[in-house]
């Protein structure tokens, strides 16, 4: 294989669509009492949706979508527990930046090992380095995170699809 990757798995749009299909598959398997973990799949989905895309257009558009507009459009709310006063979480781009950092450095905490998505809350934390203090933290219920992923997939499709 050469230096140029050409398959659609490398494109944010197709990756988002495949992420949605995988999430739906795991949810359906769980409904059938299969030995699967919906919250684990949700976390993996978040990894793929937030960390992998590097589309410039996507990030530029995210900077124009305010947190207030997200709420008006039905996006679920993150509970911001600690915000960076120098750059408050005012839009989707800032939220994505903190989420990306938290995910990449495994700063996700779960309140429960329950297999039920409705029983789990996830706390994400960001900090500039291991020697610095946290500069951002937020939490969201896993069922709301599922809804967030759906909205974000739609956002990706509308922006670059």
What angle do the packed helices 142-160 and 56-64 form, to 10 degrees? 120
- Choose between 99 and 16: higher pLDDT: 99
pLDDT higher than threshold 80 for residue 25:
yes
**pLDDT tens sequence across 47-82:** 777 766 666 678 889 999 999 999 999 999 999 999
- What share of the chain has pLDDT > 70, as a percent? 90
Give the sign of the dihedral formed by CA 158, CA 60, CA 7, CA 151.
Answer: negative
57: its two tokens: 């257009």
- Give bridge partners of residue 151 from the DSSP assignment: none
Q: Whole-model pTM?
A: 0.83
Question: Can you give the residue ranges of every domain in the chain?
Answer: 8-160
136 within 8 A of 155, measured Cβ to Cβ: no
Which pLDDT score, from 0 to 100, does residue 2 have? 47
**What does the pLDDT read at residue 118?**
95
The helix/strand/coil state of 157 is: helix
DSSP three-state, residue 141: strand
Exposure string of 54-69, with b = 16+ CB inside 10 Å and e = fewer, is ebeebeebbeebebee
| DSSP characters over 19-85 | HHHHHHHHHHHHHTT-S--HHHHHHHHHIIIIIS---HHHHHHHHHSBHHHHHHTTPPPPEEEE--T
Give the model's confidence band at 9: pLDDT under 50 very low, under 70 low, under 90 confident, else very high.
low
């Amino acid at each position: 294989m050469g230096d140029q990757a050409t398959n659609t798995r490398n494109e944010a749009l197709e990756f988002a669509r495949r992420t949605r299909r995988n999430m739906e598959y795991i949810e359906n398997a769980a409904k059938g009492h299969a030995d699967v973990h919906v919250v684990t799949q949700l976390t993996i989905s978040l990894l793929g949706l937030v960390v992998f895309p590097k589309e410039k257009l996507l990030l530029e558009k995210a900077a124009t979508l305010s947190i207030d507009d997200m709420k008006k459009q039905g996006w679920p709310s993150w509970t911001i527990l600690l915000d960076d006063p120098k750059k408050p979480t005012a839009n989707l781009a800032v939220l994505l930046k903190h989420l990306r950092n938290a995910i990449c450095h495994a700063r996700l905490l779960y309140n429960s090992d329950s297999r039920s998505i409705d029983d789990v809350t996830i706390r994400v934390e960001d900090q500039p380095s291991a020697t610095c203090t946290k500069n951002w933290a937020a939490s969201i219920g896993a069922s709301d995170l599922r809804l967030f992923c759906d909205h974000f997939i739609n956002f990706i499709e509308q922006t670059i699809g």
